[in-house]
């Protein structure tokens, strides 16, 4: 059944109920992406684990998500869209509750793996279900609403989860998601039309295993590289070699197999191929400020958690405004909306590049709103342009690869930025402390040192702390420079996009 035929069989009320259930499920999943990062210190204390050990709760969840996401197309062909969608949401909800109830590190990591693996098909299938359930003329509105769920979830999750963790315990940050998950599952069971498997059930195990190995090794390098000093570690070198070998084997097998795990014909579509590049860049830019700003403001600018949560919340407000604007901008030309979105992200990044540690809350909130608007304006035309020329039968597989690229982009860029912050902080601290010496005669001038002093141990300690703050700020400015430059490069790539109509059948 084509998407137009499916949309004609649904009443407006049923479409609305499907939208509500799908949005609840996708918001639930996107919320957990970053919520665990705010809970790691408390979970570490409860489990009696080291910082490296508790980090596996994040690392293995990301690994499971990355491995299972490309299987979405095969799962739909084997079991049907309705069965995969409802099972994914139900399993994700149960494993979320079990993660909160875990009493040992081993059980926590196990349920986090299950959470990431079972929930992986939710996001690509959610978008495909919404696009197929509504008439083509509503594609912009549907994509906007879905995009809000994907973007706002990671903003709301850490804020609300952090509040519950401080008020009660970290377990309640997981428990709060359970009622939402069961509601989404019940809604989809009641409203999503039954479908049948296409019969294309053979799984290309060679392609699946080689791609899984490549993705797993890349994610491990990104997640553990900073802790292990990157290529100074034998583990990181071994994982990099394995990733390259597995990727080569996957590409060679895909180009020669009769029915490969991922259809290479997807990349023959220029719009889709360019869309994968752009969504990777989008993933690089989307979550980076959400990850970097809290540590900067809390550790170096002295902001309390509640204020930081408000600043991140402003990003969600901007994203909501941006998604509504995208409904109108996207009707003109998708390239205009995408260029405007990346342009606003670049402007927000340039603003961040020129901040110092005395920045006020209003300025930070305005930057968050600006970046949020950019994200909202960009997402809808990106989706429309990427899938405009693809056949409907390829949508589940294409959506899975689309969201996999976004997740890999996020992991890669966040790791690069964190590594740059650590490197720049150490290098600039060493450079700045060289100037604090009794032999530096300029420090004898009263207007140079001000209230700072080198005469007492307390004074030296205060001075060392301030130097560390300023050195760290230089690292954050460097990371924001990467963010801005990447946004500008993306604007140039957008000019290669074409505007065509997607084929309905294949």
Q: Compute the average pLDDT of residues 473-486.
A: 93
Q: What pLDDT sits at residue 6?
A: 57
Distances (CA, A) of 72 to 165, 306, 358: 33, 38, 47
Report residue 262 as tokens: 């991922």
Q: Compute the average pLDDT of residues 47-72.
A: 78
Q: What pLDDT sits at residue 421?
A: 87
Q: How confident is the model at residue 477 (pLDDT cuts 50, 70, 90)?
A: very high
Q: What pLDDT sits at residue 272?
A: 87
Q: Do domains 1-201 and 264-506 have the same CATH topology?
A: yes
Q: What pLDDT sits at residue 333?
A: 76
Q: What is the 3-state secondary structure (H, E, C) of 299-313?
A: HHCCCCHHHHHHHHH
Q: In this predicted model, what pLDDT tens digit does every residue of 372-412 receive, in sequence order?
A: 899 888 887 888 788 877 777 777 778 878 888 887 888 78
CATH number belonging to domain 1-201: 1.20.1250.20
Q: In this predicted model, what pLDDT tens digit does every residue of 256-300 receive, in sequence order?
A: 888 888 788 888 888 888 889 999 998 888 878 877 887 788 778
User: Tokens 């869209």 identify what position?
Assistant: 81
Percent of the chain with pLDDT over 90: 17
Q: What pLDDT sits at residue 479?
A: 92
pTM (2 d.p.): 0.77
Q: Is the pLDDT of residue 429 over 90?
A: no
Report residue 210 as tokens: 């080689």
Q: How confident is the model at residue 343 (pLDDT cuts 50, 70, 90)?
A: very high
Report residue 407 as tokens: 């997740």
**If DSSP codes are grouped into helix, strand and coil, which group holds residue 486?**
helix
Q: What pLDDT sits at residue 154?
A: 65
CB 390 within 8 A of CB 269: yes
CATH topology of domain 264-506: Growth Hormone; Chain: A; (1.20.1250)
Distances (CA, A) of 431 to 8, 203, 436, 467: 67, 56, 10, 10
Chain CA centroid to CA 428, Å: 30
Q: What pLDDT sits at residue 1?
A: 41
Domain ranges, ordered by start, for the chain: 1-201, 204-260, 264-506
Q: Is residue 450 left, alpha or beta, with left meaning phi > 0 and alpha meaning psi from -120 to 50? A: left
Q: In this predicted model, what pLDDT tens digit does every residue of 323-334 receive, in sequence order?
A: 778 777 766 777
CB 20 within 8 A of CB 12: no
Q: Is residue 302 left, alpha or beta, with left meaning phi > 0 and alpha meaning psi from -120 to 50? A: left
């Amino acid at each position: 059944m084509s998407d137009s035929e499916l949309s004609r069989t649904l009443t407006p009320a049923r479409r609305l109920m499907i939208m509500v259930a799908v949005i609840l499920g996708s918001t639930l999943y996107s919320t957990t992406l970053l919520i665990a990062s705010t809970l790691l210190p408390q979970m570490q204390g409860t489990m009696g684990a080291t910082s490296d050990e508790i980090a596996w709760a994040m690392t293995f969840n990301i690994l499971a998500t990355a491995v299972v996401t490309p299987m979405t197309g095969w799962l739909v062909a084997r079991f049907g869209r309705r069965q995969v969608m409802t099972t994914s949401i139900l399993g994700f909800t149960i494993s979320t509750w079990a993660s909160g109830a875990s009493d040992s590190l081993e059980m926590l990591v196990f349920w986090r793996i299950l959470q990431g693996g079972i929930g992986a098909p939710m996001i690509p299938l959610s978008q495909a279900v919404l696009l197929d359930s509504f008439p083509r003329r509503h594609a912009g509105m549907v994509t906007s609403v879905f995009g809000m769920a994907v973007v706002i979830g990671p903003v709301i999750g850490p804020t609300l989860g952090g509040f519950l963790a401080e008020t009660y315990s970290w377990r309640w940050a997981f428990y709060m998601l359970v009622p939402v998950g069961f509601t989404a599952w019940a809604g989809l069971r009641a409203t999503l039309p039954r479908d049948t498997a296409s019969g294309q059930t053979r799984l290309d195990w060679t392609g699946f295993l080689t791609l899984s190995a490549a993705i797993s090794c890349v994610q491990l390098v990104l997640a553990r590289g900073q802790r292990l000093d990157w290529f100074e570690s034998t583990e990181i070198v071994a994982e990099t070699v394995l990733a390259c070998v597995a990727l080569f084997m996957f590409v060679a097998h895909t180009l020669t197999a009769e029915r490969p795990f991922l259809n290479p014909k997807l990349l023959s579509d220029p719009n889709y191929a360019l869309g994968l590049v752009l969504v990777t860049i989008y993933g690089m830019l989307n979550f980076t400020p959400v990850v970097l700003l809290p540590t900067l403001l809390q550790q170096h600018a002295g902001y309390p958690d509640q204020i930081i949560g408000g600043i991140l919340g402003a990003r969600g407000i901007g994203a909501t405004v941006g998604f509504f604007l995208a409904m109108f901008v996207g009707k003109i030309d998708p390239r205009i909306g995408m260029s405007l979105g990346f342009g606003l992200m670049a402007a927000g990044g340039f603003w961040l590049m020129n901040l110092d540690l005395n920045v006020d809350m209003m300025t930070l909130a305005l930057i968050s709103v600006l970046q949020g608007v950019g994200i909202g304006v960009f997402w809808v035309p990106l989706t429309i342009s990427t899938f405009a020329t693809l056949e409907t039968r390829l949508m589940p597989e294409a959506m899975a690869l689309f969201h996999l690229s976004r997740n890999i982009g996020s992991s890669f860029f966040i790791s690069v930025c964190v590594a740059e912050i650590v490197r720049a902080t150490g290098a600039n601290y060493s450079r700045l402390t060289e100037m604090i010496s009794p032999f530096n005669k300029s420090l004898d001038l009263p207007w140079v040192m001000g209230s700072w002093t080198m005469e007492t141990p307390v004074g030296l300690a205060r001075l060392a702390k301030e130097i560390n703050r300023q050195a760290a700020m230089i690292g954050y400015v460097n990371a924001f420079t990467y963010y801005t430059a990447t946004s500008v490069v993306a604007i140039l790539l957008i000019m290669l996009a074409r505007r065509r109509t997607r084929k309905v059948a294949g």
